[in-house]
Chains A and B, each alone.
Chain A
Amino acid sequence: MCDKFEEIGLLYVSGELSPTEAREYEAHVAECDECRREMEAYRRERAELYTADILSESPGPAVDAEILRVCSTVRKAPTVLTPVLFLKKYVPIPVFLMLVAVAVGGYFRYHSMTAANLVSKYGGEAAQPDLPNVNDNIQTPPAPVNGEELAMLDSNTVIKDTNAPFSKTLGDLNREGVFTVKGEGDR
Protein backbone atom coordinates (compact mmCIF):
# COMPACT_ATOMS: atom_id res chain seq x y z
CA MET A 1 0.00 0.00 0.00
CA CYS A 2 1.68 3.20 -1.23
CA ASP A 3 0.43 6.60 -0.06
CA LYS A 4 2.73 8.71 -2.20
CA PHE A 5 0.00 9.72 -4.62
CA GLU A 6 -1.83 11.67 -1.95
CA GLU A 7 1.36 13.14 -0.54
CA ILE A 8 3.22 13.96 -3.73
CA GLY A 9 1.29 12.75 -6.75
CA LEU A 10 -1.42 15.39 -6.41
CA LEU A 11 1.22 18.09 -6.12
CA TYR A 12 2.96 16.62 -9.15
CA VAL A 13 -0.16 16.81 -11.31
CA SER A 14 -0.81 20.30 -9.96
CA GLY A 15 2.69 21.38 -11.06
CA GLU A 16 3.71 22.37 -7.56
CA LEU A 17 6.85 20.26 -7.22
CA SER A 18 10.35 21.54 -7.84
CA PRO A 19 12.05 20.03 -10.94
CA THR A 20 14.11 17.74 -8.72
CA GLU A 21 11.10 16.55 -6.72
CA ALA A 22 9.16 16.02 -9.95
CA ARG A 23 11.94 13.85 -11.42
CA GLU A 24 12.10 11.83 -8.21
CA TYR A 25 8.37 11.20 -8.32
CA GLU A 26 8.49 10.24 -12.00
CA ALA A 27 11.15 7.68 -11.11
CA HIS A 28 8.90 6.36 -8.34
CA VAL A 29 5.85 6.15 -10.62
CA ALA A 30 7.84 4.15 -13.13
CA GLU A 31 8.16 1.45 -10.47
CA CYS A 32 4.96 1.82 -8.44
CA ASP A 33 1.83 0.33 -10.04
CA GLU A 34 -0.47 1.95 -7.51
CA CYS A 35 0.78 5.47 -8.13
CA ARG A 36 0.74 4.91 -11.88
CA ARG A 37 -2.88 3.69 -11.83
CA GLU A 38 -3.96 6.58 -9.62
CA MET A 39 -2.26 9.15 -11.77
CA GLU A 40 -3.66 7.77 -15.01
CA ALA A 41 -7.19 7.67 -13.58
CA TYR A 42 -6.94 11.20 -12.22
CA ARG A 43 -5.58 12.57 -15.46
CA ARG A 44 -8.39 10.90 -17.41
CA GLU A 45 -10.97 12.30 -15.06
CA ARG A 46 -9.52 15.77 -15.33
CA ALA A 47 -9.47 15.59 -19.10
CA GLU A 48 -12.97 14.18 -19.53
CA LEU A 49 -15.03 15.06 -16.46
CA TYR A 50 -13.50 17.76 -14.32
CA THR A 51 -13.25 20.33 -17.07
CA ALA A 52 -14.33 23.97 -16.91
CA ASP A 53 -16.95 23.09 -19.50
CA ILE A 54 -18.59 20.54 -17.27
CA LEU A 55 -18.12 22.13 -13.85
CA SER A 56 -18.95 25.74 -14.80
CA GLU A 57 -22.46 27.12 -14.43
CA SER A 58 -24.16 30.13 -15.95
CA PRO A 59 -25.80 32.84 -13.88
CA GLY A 60 -29.05 34.29 -15.16
CA PRO A 61 -28.71 36.83 -17.97
CA ALA A 62 -30.01 39.58 -15.69
CA VAL A 63 -27.06 39.02 -13.35
CA ASP A 64 -24.56 39.29 -16.19
CA ALA A 65 -26.23 42.45 -17.38
CA GLU A 66 -26.23 43.95 -13.89
CA ILE A 67 -22.55 43.26 -13.23
CA LEU A 68 -21.51 44.58 -16.62
CA ARG A 69 -23.74 47.62 -16.18
CA VAL A 70 -22.05 48.46 -12.89
CA CYS A 71 -18.71 47.92 -14.59
CA SER A 72 -19.57 50.27 -17.43
CA THR A 73 -20.64 52.89 -14.91
CA VAL A 74 -17.25 52.56 -13.26
CA ARG A 75 -15.66 53.29 -16.63
CA LYS A 76 -17.14 56.79 -16.57
CA ALA A 77 -15.21 57.67 -13.43
CA PRO A 78 -12.98 60.67 -14.15
CA THR A 79 -9.30 59.89 -14.12
CA VAL A 80 -7.50 61.83 -11.44
CA LEU A 81 -4.23 62.97 -12.97
CA THR A 82 -1.85 64.24 -10.29
CA PRO A 83 1.32 66.05 -11.40
CA VAL A 84 3.43 62.94 -10.68
CA LEU A 85 1.09 60.68 -12.69
CA PHE A 86 1.09 63.25 -15.48
CA LEU A 87 4.90 63.11 -15.64
CA LYS A 88 4.86 59.31 -15.60
CA LYS A 89 2.32 59.20 -18.40
CA TYR A 90 3.65 61.79 -20.79
CA VAL A 91 7.36 62.11 -20.08
CA PRO A 92 9.80 59.45 -21.39
CA ILE A 93 11.49 57.32 -18.71
CA PRO A 94 15.08 58.72 -19.02
CA VAL A 95 13.78 62.29 -18.84
CA PHE A 96 11.59 61.33 -15.90
CA LEU A 97 14.53 59.77 -14.05
CA MET A 98 16.63 62.86 -14.75
CA LEU A 99 13.88 65.11 -13.40
CA VAL A 100 13.71 62.98 -10.25
CA ALA A 101 17.49 63.16 -9.83
CA VAL A 102 17.52 66.93 -10.38
CA ALA A 103 14.64 67.37 -7.95
CA VAL A 104 16.35 65.28 -5.27
CA GLY A 105 19.71 66.99 -5.86
CA GLY A 106 18.08 70.43 -5.87
CA TYR A 107 16.29 69.68 -2.64
CA PHE A 108 19.50 68.82 -0.80
CA ARG A 109 21.49 71.62 -2.41
CA TYR A 110 18.86 74.10 -1.25
CA HIS A 111 18.92 72.71 2.25
CA SER A 112 22.69 72.53 2.49
CA MET A 113 22.94 76.13 1.26
CA THR A 114 20.39 77.22 3.77
CA ALA A 115 22.26 75.40 6.49
CA ALA A 116 25.57 76.87 5.27
CA ASN A 117 24.08 80.34 5.36
CA LEU A 118 22.92 79.76 8.87
CA VAL A 119 26.34 78.50 9.86
CA SER A 120 28.13 81.50 8.32
CA LYS A 121 25.63 83.88 9.86
CA TYR A 122 25.49 82.46 13.33
CA GLY A 123 28.81 80.60 13.38
CA GLY A 124 29.31 77.30 15.22
CA GLU A 125 31.09 74.35 13.62
CA ALA A 126 29.03 71.61 15.22
CA ALA A 127 26.33 71.78 12.56
CA GLN A 128 28.74 71.35 9.66
CA PRO A 129 29.48 67.57 9.76
CA ASP A 130 25.74 66.73 9.74
CA LEU A 131 25.12 68.37 6.39
CA PRO A 132 24.28 65.91 3.62
CA ASN A 133 26.78 65.46 0.82
CA VAL A 134 25.19 66.89 -2.30
CA ASN A 135 27.08 64.67 -4.77
CA ASP A 136 26.20 61.46 -2.96
CA ASN A 137 22.57 62.26 -3.18
CA ILE A 138 22.60 63.01 -6.88
CA GLN A 139 24.28 59.70 -7.64
CA THR A 140 21.81 57.63 -5.62
CA PRO A 141 19.33 55.84 -7.92
CA PRO A 142 15.91 57.42 -7.49
CA ALA A 143 14.04 55.20 -5.06
CA PRO A 144 10.43 56.22 -5.74
CA VAL A 145 10.27 54.41 -9.10
CA ASN A 146 10.02 50.69 -8.39
CA GLY A 147 10.29 47.76 -10.79
CA GLU A 148 6.57 47.28 -11.21
CA GLU A 149 5.97 50.86 -12.19
CA LEU A 150 8.78 50.69 -14.72
CA ALA A 151 7.34 47.53 -16.21
CA MET A 152 3.99 49.22 -16.59
CA LEU A 153 5.63 52.21 -18.21
CA ASP A 154 7.44 49.91 -20.62
CA SER A 155 4.23 48.43 -21.87
CA ASN A 156 2.86 51.93 -22.50
CA THR A 157 0.09 51.26 -20.05
CA VAL A 158 -1.91 54.26 -19.01
CA ILE A 159 -1.21 54.60 -15.35
CA LYS A 160 -3.66 56.12 -12.97
CA ASP A 161 -4.73 55.76 -9.40
CA THR A 162 -7.04 52.80 -9.83
CA ASN A 163 -8.35 52.58 -6.30
CA ALA A 164 -9.57 56.08 -5.77
CA PRO A 165 -11.88 56.55 -8.78
CA PHE A 166 -13.27 53.03 -8.52
CA SER A 167 -14.10 53.11 -4.83
CA LYS A 168 -15.40 56.64 -5.08
CA THR A 169 -17.74 55.78 -7.91
CA LEU A 170 -18.92 52.60 -6.26
CA GLY A 171 -19.56 54.51 -3.08
CA ASP A 172 -21.53 57.12 -5.01
CA LEU A 173 -23.55 54.46 -6.78
CA ASN A 174 -24.20 52.76 -3.49
CA ARG A 175 -25.50 55.95 -1.95
CA GLU A 176 -27.69 56.59 -4.96
CA GLY A 177 -29.10 53.12 -4.57
CA VAL A 178 -28.11 52.07 -8.08
CA PHE A 179 -26.92 48.78 -6.73
CA THR A 180 -26.54 47.15 -3.38
CA VAL A 181 -23.31 45.79 -2.03
CA LYS A 182 -24.02 43.50 0.86
CA GLY A 183 -21.73 44.10 3.80
CA GLU A 184 -20.40 41.65 6.33
CA GLY A 185 -23.32 42.09 8.68
CA ASP A 186 -26.12 41.74 6.15
CA ARG A 187 -26.75 38.12 6.73
Chain B
Amino acid sequence: MEQQAQQLTDDDRLFDKWLGGDPNGFSELYGRYRGRVFGFLLRMTGDREVAEDMLQETFLAAIRNVGQFDRSRSFLSWLFGIAHKRTIDYYRHAKVEADHVDDTDGSVGSRIDSPEDSLSNKRLRKIVGEAVQRLDPSQREVFMLRELGGVPFKEIAEMMGCPINTALGRMRLALINMRKELKKRGIDNVRQI
Protein backbone atom coordinates (compact mmCIF):
# COMPACT_ATOMS: atom_id res chain seq x y z
CA MET B 1 0.00 0.00 0.00
CA GLU B 2 2.80 2.40 0.93
CA GLN B 3 4.62 1.59 -2.27
CA GLN B 4 1.47 2.25 -4.23
CA ALA B 5 1.01 5.62 -2.55
CA GLN B 6 4.64 6.48 -3.32
CA GLN B 7 4.05 5.53 -6.95
CA LEU B 8 1.03 7.84 -7.11
CA THR B 9 2.98 10.78 -5.70
CA ASP B 10 5.72 10.03 -8.18
CA ASP B 11 3.24 9.94 -11.04
CA ASP B 12 1.87 13.30 -9.93
CA ARG B 13 5.37 14.74 -9.91
CA LEU B 14 6.08 13.46 -13.42
CA PHE B 15 2.69 14.61 -14.60
CA ASP B 16 3.35 18.14 -13.28
CA LYS B 17 6.73 18.05 -14.96
CA TRP B 18 5.07 17.12 -18.21
CA LEU B 19 2.37 19.82 -17.83
CA GLY B 20 5.10 22.30 -17.03
CA GLY B 21 6.51 21.74 -20.49
CA ASP B 22 9.34 19.34 -19.63
CA PRO B 23 9.07 16.43 -22.10
CA ASN B 24 11.11 14.23 -19.74
CA GLY B 25 7.95 14.06 -17.65
CA PHE B 26 6.20 12.38 -20.54
CA SER B 27 9.05 10.06 -21.49
CA GLU B 28 9.41 8.90 -17.89
CA LEU B 29 5.69 8.20 -17.64
CA TYR B 30 5.85 6.46 -20.99
CA GLY B 31 8.81 4.34 -19.92
CA ARG B 32 7.06 3.44 -16.70
CA TYR B 33 3.76 2.33 -18.23
CA ARG B 34 4.26 1.41 -21.89
CA GLY B 35 4.82 -2.27 -21.01
CA ARG B 36 1.60 -2.51 -19.00
CA VAL B 37 -0.51 -0.70 -21.58
CA PHE B 38 1.03 -2.73 -24.37
CA GLY B 39 0.51 -5.98 -22.46
CA PHE B 40 -3.17 -5.10 -22.12
CA LEU B 41 -3.55 -4.15 -25.78
CA LEU B 42 -1.69 -7.22 -27.00
CA ARG B 43 -3.77 -9.60 -24.89
CA MET B 44 -7.00 -7.89 -25.90
CA THR B 45 -6.32 -7.85 -29.65
CA GLY B 46 -4.07 -10.87 -30.04
CA ASP B 47 -2.23 -8.97 -32.77
CA ARG B 48 1.15 -7.40 -32.16
CA GLU B 49 0.97 -4.90 -35.02
CA VAL B 50 -2.52 -3.73 -34.14
CA ALA B 51 -1.52 -3.44 -30.49
CA GLU B 52 1.52 -1.34 -31.42
CA ASP B 53 -0.68 1.04 -33.42
CA MET B 54 -3.06 1.28 -30.50
CA LEU B 55 -0.23 1.95 -28.08
CA GLN B 56 0.75 4.98 -30.11
CA GLU B 57 -2.88 6.09 -30.39
CA THR B 58 -3.32 5.71 -26.64
CA PHE B 59 -0.38 7.91 -25.73
CA LEU B 60 -1.21 10.47 -28.41
CA ALA B 61 -4.78 10.62 -27.11
CA ALA B 62 -3.34 11.10 -23.62
CA ILE B 63 -1.29 14.06 -24.85
CA ARG B 64 -4.27 15.52 -26.65
CA ASN B 65 -6.60 15.13 -23.68
CA VAL B 66 -4.15 15.84 -20.91
CA GLY B 67 -6.38 18.66 -19.66
CA GLN B 68 -9.15 16.17 -18.92
CA PHE B 69 -7.12 14.06 -16.51
CA ASP B 70 -8.88 13.96 -13.16
CA ARG B 71 -6.28 14.17 -10.39
CA SER B 72 -8.41 12.14 -8.02
CA ARG B 73 -7.80 9.07 -10.22
CA SER B 74 -4.54 7.29 -10.81
CA PHE B 75 -2.68 8.19 -13.97
CA LEU B 76 -2.40 4.53 -14.93
CA SER B 77 -6.17 3.98 -14.57
CA TRP B 78 -6.77 6.97 -16.80
CA LEU B 79 -4.33 5.63 -19.36
CA PHE B 80 -5.99 2.21 -19.26
CA GLY B 81 -9.35 3.92 -19.78
CA ILE B 82 -8.03 5.43 -23.01
CA ALA B 83 -6.46 2.13 -24.12
CA HIS B 84 -9.70 0.31 -23.29
CA LYS B 85 -11.67 2.65 -25.58
CA ARG B 86 -9.26 1.75 -28.38
CA THR B 87 -9.96 -1.95 -27.92
CA ILE B 88 -13.71 -1.33 -27.96
CA ASP B 89 -13.35 0.57 -31.24
CA TYR B 90 -11.21 -2.27 -32.54
CA TYR B 91 -13.78 -4.91 -31.71
CA ARG B 92 -16.56 -2.77 -33.11
CA HIS B 93 -14.90 -1.84 -36.40
CA ALA B 94 -12.92 -4.96 -37.10
CA LYS B 95 -15.89 -7.13 -36.11
CA VAL B 96 -13.47 -9.45 -34.45
CA GLU B 97 -15.00 -12.79 -33.64
CA ALA B 98 -15.34 -13.34 -29.94
CA ASP B 99 -13.83 -16.79 -30.27
CA HIS B 100 -10.79 -15.74 -32.30
CA VAL B 101 -8.66 -16.73 -29.35
CA ASP B 102 -9.32 -20.41 -29.85
CA ASP B 103 -7.12 -20.40 -32.93
CA THR B 104 -4.11 -19.30 -31.00
CA ASP B 105 -1.88 -21.39 -28.87
CA GLY B 106 -0.21 -18.52 -27.14
CA SER B 107 1.19 -17.46 -30.49
CA VAL B 108 0.82 -13.81 -29.52
CA GLY B 109 4.30 -14.30 -28.20
CA SER B 110 6.24 -12.59 -25.49
CA ARG B 111 9.21 -10.42 -25.99
CA ILE B 112 11.56 -10.45 -23.07
CA ASP B 113 12.77 -7.03 -22.08
CA SER B 114 16.31 -7.87 -21.17
CA PRO B 115 18.56 -10.89 -21.66
CA GLU B 116 19.10 -11.08 -17.90
CA ASP B 117 15.53 -12.27 -17.42
CA SER B 118 15.81 -15.65 -15.82
CA LEU B 119 14.64 -18.74 -17.66
CA SER B 120 11.94 -19.46 -15.14
CA ASN B 121 10.61 -15.94 -15.53
CA LYS B 122 10.57 -16.40 -19.29
CA ARG B 123 8.71 -19.68 -18.93
CA LEU B 124 6.28 -18.17 -16.46
CA ARG B 125 5.53 -15.26 -18.77
CA LYS B 126 4.79 -17.67 -21.59
CA ILE B 127 2.53 -19.90 -19.51
CA VAL B 128 0.60 -17.05 -17.88
CA GLY B 129 0.28 -15.34 -21.27
CA GLU B 130 -1.20 -18.48 -22.78
CA ALA B 131 -3.64 -18.88 -19.90
CA VAL B 132 -4.79 -15.24 -20.17
CA GLN B 133 -5.29 -15.73 -23.90
CA ARG B 134 -7.63 -18.65 -23.23
CA LEU B 135 -9.98 -16.55 -21.09
CA ASP B 136 -13.31 -15.44 -22.45
CA PRO B 137 -12.78 -11.83 -23.75
CA SER B 138 -15.03 -10.20 -21.17
CA GLN B 139 -13.24 -12.05 -18.35
CA ARG B 140 -9.85 -11.22 -19.87
CA GLU B 141 -10.87 -7.57 -20.07
CA VAL B 142 -11.70 -7.31 -16.36
CA PHE B 143 -8.71 -9.43 -15.36
CA MET B 144 -6.20 -7.32 -17.31
CA LEU B 145 -7.73 -3.97 -16.33
CA ARG B 146 -7.58 -5.01 -12.69
CA GLU B 147 -4.26 -6.87 -12.49
CA LEU B 148 -2.18 -4.92 -15.00
CA GLY B 149 -3.88 -1.53 -14.91
CA GLY B 150 -4.73 -1.53 -11.22
CA VAL B 151 -8.11 -0.10 -12.23
CA PRO B 152 -10.62 -0.22 -9.34
CA PHE B 153 -13.69 -2.41 -9.95
CA LYS B 154 -15.91 0.64 -9.68
CA GLU B 155 -14.12 2.22 -12.65
CA ILE B 156 -13.99 -1.07 -14.55
CA ALA B 157 -17.77 -1.32 -14.30
CA GLU B 158 -18.10 2.25 -15.60
CA MET B 159 -15.72 1.55 -18.49
CA MET B 160 -17.59 -1.62 -19.44
CA GLY B 161 -21.00 -0.11 -18.86
CA CYS B 162 -22.10 -2.88 -16.51
CA PRO B 163 -23.09 -3.14 -12.84
CA ILE B 164 -20.16 -3.59 -10.47
CA ASN B 165 -21.44 -7.06 -9.52
CA THR B 166 -21.14 -8.14 -13.15
CA ALA B 167 -17.51 -6.97 -13.20
CA LEU B 168 -16.84 -8.81 -9.93
CA GLY B 169 -18.50 -11.97 -11.26
CA ARG B 170 -16.35 -11.88 -14.40
CA MET B 171 -13.23 -11.40 -12.32
CA ARG B 172 -14.14 -14.36 -10.14
CA LEU B 173 -14.65 -16.53 -13.23
CA ALA B 174 -11.37 -15.26 -14.69
CA LEU B 175 -9.53 -16.30 -11.53
CA ILE B 176 -11.12 -19.76 -11.55
CA ASN B 177 -10.36 -20.26 -15.26
CA MET B 178 -6.81 -18.98 -14.87
CA ARG B 179 -6.24 -21.59 -12.16
CA LYS B 180 -7.57 -24.31 -14.46
CA GLU B 181 -5.41 -23.24 -17.40
CA LEU B 182 -2.32 -22.83 -15.24
CA LYS B 183 -2.88 -26.25 -13.71
CA LYS B 184 -3.00 -27.79 -17.21
CA ARG B 185 0.40 -26.21 -17.80
CA GLY B 186 1.93 -27.52 -14.62
CA ILE B 187 1.40 -24.62 -12.27
CA ASP B 188 -0.75 -25.67 -9.38
CA ASN B 189 -1.62 -23.59 -6.40
CA VAL B 190 1.12 -21.14 -7.29
CA ARG B 191 3.82 -23.36 -5.77
CA GLN B 192 5.19 -25.63 -8.44
CA ILE B 193 7.00 -23.15 -10.62
Is B105 close to A, CB under 8 A? no
Q: Are A57 and B60 in contact (CB under 8 A)?
A: no
Chain B 22-78 residues near chain A, CB threshold 8 A: 23, 26-27, 30, 34-36, 38-39, 42-43, 48, 51-53, 55-57, 59-60, 63-64, 66-67, 71
Q: Are B128 and A49 in contact (CB under 8 A)?
A: yes
Q: Are A184 and B89 in contact (CB under 8 A)?
A: yes
Given known contacts A41-B190, A181-B60, A10 and B168 CB-to-CB distance under 8 angstroms? yes
Q: Are B55 and A52 in contact (CB under 8 A)?
A: no
- Bound state CA distance, A11 and B27, in angstroms? 33
Specify the main secondary structure of chain A where it touches its partner: helix
Residue of A nearest to B60 (CB): A181
Which of B57, B144, B148 contacts A182, CB < 8 Å? Answer: B57
Is B189 close to A, CB under 8 A? yes
User: Inside 8 A of B89's CB, which chain A residues have their CB?
Assistant: 184, 187
User: Inside 8 A of B21's CB, which chain A residues have their CB?
Assistant: 75, 79, 158, 160
Q: Are B20 and A52 in contact (CB under 8 A)?
A: no
Chain A 117-169 residues near chain B, CB threshold 8 A: 148, 152, 155, 157-160, 162-163, 166-167
Is B93 close to A, CB under 8 A? yes
Distance from A57 Cβ to chain B, minimum over Cβ atoms (Å): 4
Distance from A7 Cβ to chain B, minimum over Cβ atoms (Å): 7
Residue of A nearest to B193 (CB): A48
Given known contacts A41-B190, A42-B175, A52-B35, A63 and B63 CB-to-CB distance under 8 angstroms? no
Residue of A nearest to B32 (CB): A52
Specify the main secondary structure of chain B where it touches its partner: helix
- Bound state CA distance, A155 and B182, in angstroms? 48
Q: Are A55 and B128 in contact (CB under 8 A)?
A: yes
Which of B43, B51, B53, B67 contacts A162, CB < 8 Å? Answer: B67
Interface residues on A, range: 35 or more
Is B124 close to A, CB under 8 A? yes
Q: Are A157 and B16 in contact (CB under 8 A)?
A: yes
Q: Are B153 and A166 in contact (CB under 8 A)?
A: no
Is B113 close to A, CB under 8 A? yes
Q: Are B190 and A45 in contact (CB under 8 A)?
A: yes
Q: Are B30 and A45 in contact (CB under 8 A)?
A: no
User: Inside 8 A of B125's CB, which chain A residues have their CB?
Assistant: 54
User: Inside 8 A of B59's CB, which chain A residues have their CB?
Assistant: 67, 71
Nearest first, the 10 A-B pairs at minimum CB distance are: A56-B35, A187-B93, A75-B23, A158-B20, A57-B39, A6-B172, A50-B147, A56-B39, A44-B190, A63-B52
Residues of B that sit less than 8 Å from A by CB: 1, 16, 19-21, 23, 26-27, 30, 34-36, 38-39, 42-43, 48, 51-53, 55-57, 59-60, 63-64, 66-67, 71, 89-90, 93-94, 110-113, 121, 124-125, 128-129, 132, 144, 146-148, 152-154, 165, 168-169, 171-172, 175, 178-179, 182, 187, 189-190, 193
Known: A6-B171, A10-B153, A157-B20. 20 other contacts (CB 8 A): A11-B153, A15-B1, A16-B154, A41-B179, A45-B178, A49-B190, A50-B128, A55-B147, A57-B38, A57-B42, A63-B56, A70-B56, A71-B23, A75-B21, A157-B16, A163-B64, A166-B66, A167-B64, A170-B64, A187-B94
